[in-house]
Amino acid sequence: MALQHTLERHTVRTLMKLPGSALGRLAGLLEKVDRGRLDPRLRLLLALGDGRKGFHQLPLPKGRALYAQMIDMLDVGRETVAQVSDLRVPVAGGDILVRLYRPVAAPIPAPAIVYFHGGGFTIGSAAEYDRLCRYLANRTGAVILNVDYRLAPEHVAPTAADDVVAAWRWVLAQADKLGLDDQRLAVMGDSAGGNLSIVTAQQAAREGLIKPKLVVAVYPKTDGETNFESAVTLGGGQGGLDRDMITWFHQQYLPDDSLVDDIRISPLRNPELEGQPETILVTATDPLRDEGLAYGEKLKAAGVTVVNLDYPELVHGFITMGGAIPAARNAVNAICRQVRERL
């Protein structure tokens, strides 16, 4: 399996170096659904995966391993930072890993970003996001705290939400010891992690804690249900994430549908959004697009500043594709510039 993955990674990286026009034509011969608006390299990558089993169609350990292999195949390289420290943070019933990355020349106290990885609350880990977090640290100049919250189905809702709020409390309490400026803290995450970044900011407000200065929600899951138009129009497998996968993630994390209205699960349903932090909302050609935009509109109606960065040429998951897809790397760089300006 390791050899097969190495060969596939080398093949993909080699293909991605070909001219975009040639890759677009090749994708047109292979793809089974219309992806004409997407970046040509991404179109070919997705076409090569058509017909393969997704994470949700494999035994859970194999699905998690496949996710790790995909990130290894597509993500940016592992960059050097000044410091990496593995910290243990207490949560209800145990503790979790938070991995700290301090970039070279970071001031003391430094701005910081608490990062929550994606993966439908079921797959993914701090280990898979190590390269991205190093990259973010070096591009934003901020300390990154990579939170390894507990996953479903071993730990169902609202465990992930409670873990990240506990991590936020811990960061606030330890900010001085860690050399962090508690007035320049952001939360950031993609997909499930985007949900958790929003939840953290909302729960901080409800509990009277220092709120993040900035929320960065990358194609976030904002509602416990998936009945938005984009889930229908873009959930047919055009971008990798499809309705069946979303349903499977939901079943793992939220086996009890009575929790759908809980704002730790569905932050879109929170009626009290006044005073929430400035939010960078990132969208793409993605089944979750409409629920992300709906949350942005509710924030605006509550008087919150929202910056929407939209990448229709990219799809769900692009934040960890920057090593193979230049358009994805450019988008991550643009997000980093926006974050740096605001922290």
List residues with catalytic annotation: 191, 286, 316
Asked if residue 343 lies in contact with residue 111, where contact means CB atoms within 8 angstroms, the answer is yes
Separation between Cα atoms, residue 71 and residue 303, nearest integer Å: 37
Which three-class secondary structure state does DSSP give residue 216?
strand
Neighbour count for residue 94 (Cβ, 10 Å): 11
Structure tokens at 316: 């769900």
Strand runs labelled E in 162-228: 180-190, 214-218
Q: Residue 201 corresponds to which amino acid?
A: A
- The Cα diameter of the chain in Å comes to 57
Which residues are 55's β-sheet partners? none
Give dist(CA 50, CA 54) in Å, integer. Answer: 10
For the chain, how many residues are written? 343
338 alpha carbon, distance to own chain's centre: 17
Which residues 6+ apart lie within 8 Å of 101 measured at CB?
Answer: 81, 83, 84, 133, 134, 136, 137, 143, 144, 145, 146
Assess contact for 223 and 268: CB atoms under 8 A.
yes
The structure tokens 């890993």 sit at: 97
